[in-house]
């Protein structure tokens, strides 16, 4: 029984933290990608100096 708790402590906790961070970072990457696309469109529309 203590081995199960040791496995959960050694593998379960890092897996949960990794999944949590990946989900949070994914949302921010989508926002960043949208901002980059919007910036690229604005640069193409801007007349040359």
pLDDT tens digit sequence for 1-49? 788 888 888 888 889 999 999 999 999 999 999 999 999 999 999 877 7
Total structural domains in the chain?
A: 1
Both tokens of residue 10? Answer: 């050694």
Asked, for residue 28, whether it belongs to a domain, the answer is yes
| Structural domain boundaries enclosing 39 | 19-49
pLDDT at 12: 86
Exposure class string for 19-41: b at 16+ Cβ within 10 A, else e: eeeeeeeeeeeeeeeeeeeeeee
Asked, for residue 3, whether it belongs to a domain, the answer is no
Stated pTM of the model: 0.57
pLDDT at 32: 97
């Amino acid at each position: 029984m203590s081995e199960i708790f040791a496995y959960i402590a050694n593998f379960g906790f890092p897996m949960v933290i990794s999944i949590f961070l990946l989900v949070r970072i994914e949302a921010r990457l989508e926002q960043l990608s949208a901002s980059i696309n919007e910036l690229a469109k604005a640069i193409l529309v801007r007349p040359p100096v």
